[in-house]
Structure 1
Amino acid sequence: MDFTIPHELERYYAELEAFIAAEIEPLTAQDDNIRFFDHRREDARTDWDRRGLPNAEWEALLREATRRADAAGHWRFSAPTEYGGQDGSNFAMAVIRDRFAQRGLGLHNDLQNEHSIVGNFPFIAMFDTFGTQEQKDEFIRGGLDHERIVAFGLTEPDHGSGATHMETRAVRETRDGRTGWRIDGVKMWITGMHVATHVALFARTSGQDGDARGITCFLVPNPSEGLQIDEYVWTFNMPTDHARFFLHGVWVPDESILGEQDKGLALAQSFVHQNRIRQAASSVGAAQFCVEKSVRYARERKPFGEELAKNQAIQFPLVELATQCEMLRLLIYKTAWEMDRTAHAEIEKTLSDKVSMCNYWANRLVCEAADRAMQVHGGIGYSREKPFEHIYRHHRRYRITEGAEEIQMRKVAAYLFGYLGPGTSKFSK
């Protein structure tokens, strides 16, 4: 068993570092763009007079960084070659996201906006696996060309993790001679609706509350008649782009269905795995950043004439965090490697527990590391002069989104006790 990072991946990461130095860091330095990353970051990023949405100048900066990365051949790295990418593997993405987060806050990889010079495209796998050829052409190619932006419309105000109890309903209705569906309901925490051209919207089309079968995914244009955005919910870490919206008689044709009718939950499960493993890699990288900054500060700080680092009360918590980073990183890399050797549609049936292990533990770990970094740094650690408060506020969200940690622990338990996954055969008798 060889744990060495492949030479070609190390070579590519060196290219990314050179690109960051040549293109991204100078872009950050010009026109006071550093205000989006220093102590002014939350205020600079937020348009408080426009419902707390991202500032237009901030989003323009992200687009320019993406444009440069795409022109250099980096942004589409994880996309299939037929769409201009490099077939970047889950393993490679885990390594890159881990190392990017270890660099700290920066335009190269701003997780608050799911922005990175090496893009994450979970929708590509979803459309490639479940979409028609017309949908692939429109939404994969259109997405990479920034002509299509798809929000993910699963969560509801009264039904977050319990998606099978969603109240949004779609019923058959013919309009102007075309068969289609009328959709009524409400959705919440739907990220990116202020820029989305469509929302992949999940609604019950048959069955009873609690049934896994009977939920269908529809590609609903934004705006649509009857789709009313009520508010963008202000959060612990601003700006916000998390919409609550109502659907009052929204109508879409039959061809708007993505995947099979009544089997939409398979799409939702498909969507989360790539996000979860890459999120886990980013979280462990950010945790490592917090530990390393704390160690350096403890060596440099000399209260009472001696290094702060000589105190075991400083050493031992950081030792535990560093140990967990090392162990978790190995599990993340191994799980990503296994995902690359498993058909996309089969990951939910065979590896979902390992993905959840990585995700919930990494998101918890980075919050602990950021909190410890504040404590080690004292007053300056609590201030916005240091990035730890931003790291904590952002990554605290991950313990709820992409499946709350309790839901992911339930998934691990279902595999462990043989209710789901390969272990069911152990208890079949």
Structure 2
Amino acid sequence: MDFSLPDELTQYLAKIDAFIESEIKPLEEADDNIRFFDHRREWARTNFEEGGLPRHEWEELLEEAKRRADKAGFLRFALPGEYGGSNGSNLWMTVIREHLAARGLGLHNDLQNEHSIVGNFPSVIMLRDFGSAEQKDVFIPGILDRKLFLAFGLTEPDHGSDATHMETRAVPEMREGKAGWRIDGGKMWTTGMHTATHVIIFARTAGDDGDAKGITAFLVPTDTPGITVEEYLWTFNMPTDHPRVSFSNLWVDDSCIFGPPDRGLALAQAFVHENRIRQAASSLGAAAYCVEESVRYARARKPFGEELARNQAIQWPLVELATQIEMLRLLIRKTAWEMDQMPHPEVEKRISDKVSMCNYWANRLCCEAADRAMQVHGGIGYSRHKPFEHIYRHHRRYRITEGSEEIQMRKVASYLFGYLGPRKGQIPPPR
């Protein structure tokens, strides 16, 4: 059993670091772009006068970083070769994402909006596996060329984790002699609607509330009459691009159906494991950054003439965090490696609980590490001149999104107690 990273991977990390230093860091420091990352970051990024949306200059900077990363061959790393990628494995992606997050805040990897120079493209893979021939021809190159942007409308004002109870409805309706669907309802947290060219709308087309079947996905242009952005919801970490959207007498033709009719939730579930394991790795990297910065500060700070690090009250909480980081890193990499050893559908059947363990624990650990870093740094740690408050506020989100802690713990419990997974029907009676 060999736990060392392959030479090819460590060399790739070195190439990424060299690219960051030569291309991304200079861009980050040019034209006062550092305002988006220093103590001014929330104000620099947010147009408070225009609904709290991201400022154009901020989003354009992110796009420029992506363009440079794409030109250098990093952005599409995880995609198949047919889309200009390198068929990056889950193991490699977890190591890379941890590595980038452990560098701290920067243009190379801003977790507040899923930005990274090594990108994640779930919508491209979703289109490859579920899209019609026409949808593939239009949307995959459009997304990769950064000309088309998809928003995702699943969560509703009254229904979050209970997606099968969604109230948005789509009913067949002919208009001008053409077959189509009228959609009525509403969605929450439809991230990216301010720039999206299209939105994936999930609506019940058959069955009863609570049925997994009977929900259909529609791929709809955002300028279609009947779509209204009601408000952008201000969040713990600003800016916001998370609106509440309503659909009223929205009509689309049959060509907008995305994936198999009545089985739209398969799209929503298809790549949750890849997203969760990679996001867990990012939270792990951010936690490691918080602990390392705390160690450095505690060695340098000398209250009462002695290093702060001499105090066990400083040492022990960081020791516990460092221990958890080491254990979690092994579980994340082992789980990612196992994911790479099986066809994607098998992940849900065999190790979905391990993915959930990695994700919910990493997000919680990151919040604890950021909080501890603030405490170790004292007053300056509580200020915006250090990144810990930003890290905490952002990663607190992930304990709710990407599957809440409670939902993921429920998944782990269902495997542990044999209601799902390999242990189903295998739990022996008490001895």
TM-score by length of 2: 0.97
* Cα distance in 1, alignment partners of residues 314 and 299 from structure 2: 10
**Corresponding residue number in structure 1 for 2:60:** 60
Q: Name the SS of the counterpart of 1:183 in structure 2.
A: strand
Alignment of 1:337-356 (within 5 A): 337-356=337-356
**Corresponding residue number in structure 1 for 2:111:** 111
**Corresponding residue number in structure 2 for 1:405:** 405
* Cα distance in 1, alignment partners of residues 415 and 265 from structure 2: 19
2:324 pairs with 1:324? yes
**Corresponding residue number in structure 2 for 1:335:** 335
Q: Name the SS of the counterpart of 1:49 in structure 2.
A: helix
* Cα distance in 2, alignment partners of residues 202 and 275 from structure 1: 19
Q: Name the SS of the counterpart of 2:247 in structure 1.
A: strand
**Corresponding residue number in structure 1 for 2:14:** 14
* Cα distance in 1, alignment partners of residues 262 and 8 from structure 2: 43
Alignment of 1:273-292 (within 5 A): 273-292=273-292
* Cα distance in 2, alignment partners of residues 12 and 193 from structure 1: 35
* Cα distance in 1, alignment partners of residues 240 and 351 from structure 2: 32
| Cα gap change, 1:140 to 1:343, in 2 (>3 Å) | farther
* Cα distance in 1, alignment partners of residues 161 and 10 from structure 2: 38
Between the two proteins, the alignment pairs up a number of residues equal to 429
1:80 deviation in Å?
A: 0.8
* Cα distance in 2, alignment partners of residues 346 and 226 from structure 1: 40
2:417 pairs with 1:417? yes
| Cα gap change, 1:144 to 1:57, in 2 (>3 Å) | same
**Corresponding residue number in structure 1 for 2:312:** 312
User: What is the CA deviation profile of residues 145-182 of structure 1, one whole-angstrom value per residue up to 9, with x for unaligned ones?
Assistant: 11221111110011011111110011111112221111
1:428 deviation in Å?
A: 11
Alignment of 1:35-50 (within 5 A): 35-50=35-50
1:136 deviation in Å?
A: 2.1
Alpha-carbon contact 2:46-2:52 (below 8 Å) kept: yes
Q: Name the SS of the counterpart of 1:384 in structure 2.
A: coil
**Corresponding residue number in structure 1 for 2:189:** 189
Q: Name the SS of the counterpart of 2:426 in structure 1.
A: helix
Q: Unaligned stretches of 5+ in structure 2?
A: none
User: What is the CA deviation profile of residues 176-208 of structure 1, one whole-angstrom value per residue up to 9, with x for unaligned ones?
Assistant: 222111110010011111111111111111111
Alpha-carbon contact 2:199-2:221 (below 8 Å) kept: yes
TM-score by length of 1: 0.98
* Cα distance in 1, alignment partners of residues 157 and 145 from structure 2: 33
**Corresponding residue number in structure 2 for 1:142:** 142
Q: Unaligned stretches of 5+ in structure 1?
A: none
Q: Name the SS of the counterpart of 1:85 in structure 2.
A: coil
1:302 deviation in Å?
A: 0.9
* Cα distance in 2, alignment partners of residues 124 and 330 from structure 1: 29
Alignment of 1:27-426 (within 5 A): 27-426=27-426
* Cα distance in 2, alignment partners of residues 140 and 360 from structure 1: 31
Alpha-carbon contact 2:300-2:307 (below 8 Å) kept: yes
1:125 deviation in Å?
A: 2.3
Q: Name the SS of the counterpart of 2:188 in structure 1.
A: strand
The letter of the residue matching 2:123 is F
Q: Name the SS of the counterpart of 1:203 in structure 2.
A: strand
Which one is further off, 132-141 or 297-306?
A: 132-141
The letter of the residue matching 2:161 is S
User: What is the CA deviation profile of residues 400-419 of structure 1, one whole-angstrom value per residue up to 9, with x for unaligned ones?
Assistant: 11111101111111111222
* Cα distance in 1, alignment partners of residues 131 and 33 from structure 2: 39
* Cα distance in 1, alignment partners of residues 222 and 240 from structure 2: 18
1:271 deviation in Å?
A: 3.2
* Cα distance in 2, alignment partners of residues 347 and 271 from structure 1: 10
Alpha-carbon contact 1:269-1:348 (below 8 Å) kept: no
1:38 deviation in Å?
A: 0.3
Q: Name the SS of the counterpart of 2:324 in structure 1.
A: helix
Alpha-carbon contact 1:123-1:271 (below 8 Å) kept: no
The letter of the residue matching 2:64 is E
Alpha-carbon contact 1:129-1:345 (below 8 Å) kept: no
* Cα distance in 2, alignment partners of residues 70 and 269 from structure 1: 28
* Cα distance in 1, alignment partners of residues 139 and 242 from structure 2: 22
Alpha-carbon contact 1:418-1:424 (below 8 Å) kept: yes
* Cα distance in 2, alignment partners of residues 272 and 125 from structure 1: 12
1:427 deviation in Å?
A: 5.5
Cα RMSD after superposing both structures: 1.3
